[in-house]
């Protein structure tokens, strides 16, 4: 299970809807889909394909265990299902 925290506001003025801690044994793309599904109160299978918004292989390549060396501080942001998704090596954050 992921640890979920729900802060009220973000520095950019958008409301943080969902924030989950990433885990070493879960891919970045799975963490993203789980966060959005939780925010939407649906199962992950009910969401549109993540590949329609971003290249899942590229995301997992950036945040996979094999690419951790030399990539500290990487942040990726994109839009998916009406959320501004931000992923770091530690968290997936959804904003609206």
CB 22 within 8 A of CB 91: yes
**Confidence label for 10 from pLDDT (cuts 50, 70 and 90):** low
Residues 32-79 pLDDT 10s: 999 999 999 999 999 999 999 999 999 998 888 765 555 678 899 999
Residues 39 and 85 sit within 8 Å (Cβ to Cβ): no
Confidence check: pLDDT of 27 > 80: yes
Q: Within 13 Å, how many C-alpha atoms sit on residue 32's CB side? A: 28
Q: Model confidence at 24, in pLDDT bands (50, 70, 90)?
A: confident
The rounded mean pLDDT for the chain is 86
pTM of the entire predicted model? 0.82
């Amino acid at each position: 299970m992921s640890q979920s925290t729900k802060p009220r506001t973000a520095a950019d003025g958008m409301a943080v809807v969902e924030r989950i801690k990433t885990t070493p044994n879960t891919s970045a793309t799975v963490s993203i889909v789980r966060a959005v599904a939780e925010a939407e109160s649906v199962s992950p299978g009910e969401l549109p394909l993540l590949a329609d918004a971003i290249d899942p292989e590229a995301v997992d390549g950036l945040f996979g265990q094999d690419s951790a060396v030399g990539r500290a501080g990487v942040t990726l942001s994109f839009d998916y299902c009406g959320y501004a998704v931000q992923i770091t090596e530690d968290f997936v954050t959804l904003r609206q």
